[in-house]
Amino acid sequence: MKRIKIFDTTLRDGEQAPGCSMNLHEKIEVAKQLERLGVDIIEAGFAIASPGDFESISMVAKELKNNVVCSLARALEKDIDAAWGSVRHAVSPRIHTFIATSPVHMQYKLKMTPEQVLERTAAMVAYAKKYCPDVEFSAEDAGRSDLEFLSKVCSTAIKAGATVINIPDTVGYLNPAEITERLTYLMNHIDNVETVDVSVHNHNDLGLATANSLAAILVGATQVECTINGLGERAGNAALEEIVMGLITRKQLYQAECGIDTRQIYRTSRLVSTVTGMQIPANKAVVGQNAFAHESGIHQHGVMAERSTYEIMTPQSIGIPQNKMILGKHSGKHALEERLVALGYQLTEEQLTETFEAFKKLADKKKTIMDRDLETLVEHNEGKIDEGYRLDSFIINSGNTIDATASVKISLDGKVLSGVSLGSGPIDAGFTAINSIIGEDFELEDYSLHSITEGEDALGEAVVKLSYKGKAVTGRGVSTDIVEASLRAYLNGVNRALRDFVNVKEDIDDRV
């Protein structure tokens, strides 16, 4: 069995998906979970992109103990300087530099000749090598590049010191037969290719990212680049969970293995979905809520007689426990902790205490607490912003014969502010009241509400996207009361926005 390295770029390419930005706390939480999952390389960001990206990569590099941590960099000295500065404290740092090699990119984006691209490749890989022994080189848009030229570029990068050569299908153009043909050609024409890892990075524009990645493994790729839930620009990237479970389920076909702890897959998927606000489609392969559900009578009968009739992998293999422990308001902290451990969570004593308090409050409203309720409590507790406005109380008056009014009280460090506002409905009135209290203009760009669990007492999750001074932020809130969930989501988004632009603590006294 050959060993396939799993390169996760959720924190870089995944975060580039519109509306999927994460704050520093969330990035560190995701990075730690990726470490528990067992990925080999974590691409933590694009250091030159912003001071925030640089800081988050640096923090991830310092926190993690078992992974290669890398930063992306264009083939420019300033990018490579920033990349090294951000990862230099990692246990195993890597600089990942790239330049486009397709005719359309070289002509219209780079405005460079093929000869200039070759020269830049040699110079910048060598420049990165002065900082770091582990240098990955990517030929952007390799899927549409001339194969002879692509071979020269990759050979040049290896000669200059690259330890990994990445062949990206940047626009998701290829199919499995084509990527097999192209990779086979490259393996036979790149000088000293046997001395480096050959990687692929496939986008999902035509829905073939996972298929292309697995096809590449069959013809010699030793590293695959992917994201949790297939998150990423446009239609996203190859999904880590699909590639990994493909390798495991069809081991005899691929004759390859990886170091992923598959029991952490579901937990990781839910965490990334929560912090980005990107819901997982019910029919999503491996991690969708219907992935192990059977409604057809024929299917149900088959599974009860022999699981393998309709299930090629088990829910337990990805971290979904089979047994169901019913939890309610009479359950104790120990029972809650056991259930959370079974679900794959590792909480500190402080986190467990906070989650138990939230659990007790929920148990007073719900007769039975389901696994999904617990996951939501933990995930929202882990992802909350510790400093900022908190919802104290609210009163809503609404009907089809009156204007909706909202009286809202919010607090910060024990100081309470209140406001009253009219609105076109109860949610609008509540949001407007919050704006009037804080004295800032937040623009609501998107609002969604969905039920997390089943039943009339189900938890509702509200997700808002706010725009503030040109920056878009996402806020989330959970409650059995949909108005409360909405107000909590709005305040969560407000706190994220104000953290970057307003010193709330100093400003509060002026508004009390």
d(CA 269, CA 278): 11
CB–CB of 48/73 below 8 Å? yes
Q: For 403-448, write each residue's pLDDT tens digit.
A: 999 999 999 888 999 999 999 999 999 999 999 999 988 999 999 9
Average of per-residue pLDDT values in the chain: 89
Measured between alpha carbons, how far is 115 from 119 in angstroms, rounded to an integer? 6
The region of weakest confidence among 118-122, 138-142, 212-216, 331-335 is 331-335
- Measured distance CA(323)–CA(150) in Å, rounded: 52
pLDDT, mean of residues 379-408: 82
- Whether residue 381 is predicted with pLDDT greater than 70 in this model: the reply is no
Q: Which residue has the higher pLDDT, 384 or 127?
A: 127
Residue matched to tokens 């446009």:
234
Between 213-217, 264-268, 501-505, the lowest mean confidence (pLDDT) is in 501-505
Predicted confidence (pLDDT) per residue in 396-408, tens digit: 999 999 999 999 9
Token digits of residue 50: 């912003």
Predicted local distance difference test score (pLDDT) of residue 311: 80
One-letter amino acid for residue 361 of the chain: K
Contact indicator for 57, 71 with CB cutoff of 8 Å: yes
Inter-residue contact 102 to 141 (CB < 8 Å): yes
pLDDT at residue 504, rounded to an integer: 40
Looking at residue 94, its pLDDT comes to 98
pLDDT digits (tens, 9 = 90+) for 148-176: 999 999 999 999 999 999 999 999 999 99
What percent of the residues of the chain are helix, what percent strand, and what percent coil, each to the nearest 5?
Answer: 45, 20, 30
Q: What integer is the mean pLDDT of 449-453?
A: 79
Tell me, what's the pLDDT at 454? 67
Three-class SS state of 229:
helix
310 vs 314: CA distance, rounded Å = 10
* The residue type at 373: D
Q: How confident is the model at residue 478 (pLDDT cuts 50, 70, 90)?
A: confident
Q: Could you tell me which residue, 311 or 36, shows the higher pLDDT?
A: 36
What number is the average pLDDT over the span 222-249? 97
The arithmetic mean of pLDDT across residues 215-233, rounded, is: 97
Tell me the mean pLDDT in the region 301-327: 72
The residue count for the chain: 512
Dihedral of alpha carbons 172, 174, 175, 181, sign: negative
**The tokens 């986008």 sit on which residue?**
203
SS3 state at 403: strand
Dist CA 273 CA 456 (whole Å):
24
Q: What is the pLDDT of residues 498-511, one digit of tens each?
A: 876 654 444 444 44
Mean pLDDT of 450-476: 81
Q: Cα torsion at 373, 17, 145, 48 (round to 10°)?
A: -120
Q: Look at residue 21 in the predicted model and tell me its pLDDT.
A: 82
pLDDT mean over 265-291 = 90
Q: Is a pLDDT exceeding 60 seen at residue 322?
A: no
How large is the average pLDDT for residues 244-272? Answer: 96
The pLDDT confidence band at residue 392, using thresholds 50, 70 and 90, is very high
End-to-end CA distance of the chain: 66
The SS3 call for residue 111 is: coil
Rounded CA-CA distance 30/20 in Å is 13
Whole-angstrom distance, CA of residue 160 vs CA of residue 147: 20
pTM, whole model, 2 decimals?
0.76
Query: Do residues 242 and 215 make contact, with C-beta atoms less than 8 angstroms apart?
Result: no
